[in-house]
Amino acid sequence: MLVRIKNKTNSVWVCIFLITWSALGFQSCKKSNEKAEGERQQYIISDSILKTLRIDSVKQGLLVNSITLTGQVDFNQDNVVNIFPLISGNIQDIKIMLGDFVKEGQVLGVIRSSEMAQYSSDLLNAQTNLQLSQRNMDKTIQMYHSGMASQVDSLTAAVSLEQARAELTRTQRVLKINGNNTKGEYEVKAPISGFIVQKFVTNNQSIRSDNSNALFTISDLKNIWVWANVYESNVSNIHLGDNIDVTTLSYPGKIFKGKIDKMMQMLDPASKAMKVRISIDNEDYALKPQMFASVTVTNTQNKQAIYIPTTGLIFDHSLYYVLVYRGAGKAEIRPVQKLNTIGPKTYLTGGVTVGDKIITSDALQIYSELNN
């Protein structure tokens, strides 16, 4: 459309109006765009992601206390046998090594000994003496009936016979205690089935019966002990019967279950720690004596606390967070105060309330999207 300007003055005013109107319109558009850019668009979880999410509720229950201690695997001393030499001599034919499994009655070594030869000789003498005493008794009885021996002679022969029998019994028992071998050898046998956990003897070594060191130590490792150190600050939190989880460097991720079955009730003067004992079944022989162990003690307190699944907890910038699901694909980041974590449960002291819906899968990914 064409507009004719009648005079110069009107033309100037029209130009001023058009310029002002254009400037105001540009400024308004600029502010509108800045406002739109400044507003953060809320992240909405897509339906495809919602189908894969796991959402749990905040619950309340008895607070479970957890303490982590250091410990060491040891033999079950009730299932350990130390084998000491009963006689002196020279040991040979040792065919087992440290760590070998042996069966009950298996020969571990043979001791050639003059003592065993003497026991065999004593047995032979006792047998011969018994035979002679029996013949003398028979002869005395015959003479007594024929009037050639007195009753005293008969009683003396009977006493001699009983003494010979007693001596034979004694020598037989002594020989049986020492292996019942009549060749002058003493066989060292395993009294129980188990593993050779200590070995202090080698072939052709001379040994004495008064030696204070055992020849072998055998342990049945199907049940072992773990000794844990409880420092003074935690003594009041440890009780007999508390459940124990034991982990080792050798088996990361594997948890061995047990219970505290003994407390020493005194502090070690060197370490200033109280020893507690945990008995653990070890059917697969996975735990080995002298292994270092991490011992987690758990016990239930008479106190209520809220808890969530541990997978729903997020740690960022030295703080803990959870994602509270509001429905319709909307989630909210909520700071929380952590009390402790016991396996799949994390106990909290605040930040959420019982019944709140918590995202417990892919929480870190959604947390990053919400922060963006």
pLDDT 10s digits, 195-220: 998 899 989 888 887 777 889 999 88
**pLDDT per residue over 259-300, tens digit each?**
999 998 888 888 889 999 999 998 888 998 889 999 988 777
CB 337 within 8 A of CB 320: yes
224/330 same-domain check: no
Give φ, ψ of 214 to 5 degrees. -75, 150
CA neighbor of 362 nearest in space, from 48, 59, 58, 40: 48
238/297 same-domain check: yes
> CA 179 from chain center: how many Å?
39
CB 75 within 8 A of CB 218: no
Place of tokens 């558009």: 29
119/192 same-domain check: no
157/248 same-domain check: no
Listed in sequence order, the residues at least 6 apart from 352 whose beta carbon sits closer than 8 Å to its beta carbon are: 58, 306, 308, 322, 324, 334, 336, 358
Q: Tally helices (H) and strands (E) across the chain.
A: 5, 20
- Which is higher by pLDDT, 23 or 156? 156
Dist CA 4 CA 35 (whole Å): 40
CB 189 within 8 A of CB 108: yes
141/270 same-domain check: no
The answer to whether residue 44 sits within a structural domain is no
Most confident of 44-48, 133-137, 206-210, 224-228: 224-228
258: tokens are: 């047990």
The answer to whether residue 4 sits within a structural domain is no
103/125 same-domain check: no
User: pLDDT class for 3, splitting at 50, 70, 90?
Assistant: very low
164/282 same-domain check: no
* pTM for this entry: 0.57
The answer to whether residue 273 sits within a structural domain is yes
84/213 same-domain check: yes
DSSP letter at 213 equals S
178/149 same-domain check: yes
Picking from 141-155, 205-219, 231-245, which range would have the lowest pLDDT averaged per residue?
141-155
Domain that holds residue 271: 67-77+219-301
368: tokens are: 């990053």
88/200 same-domain check: yes
The answer to whether residue 27 sits within a structural domain is no
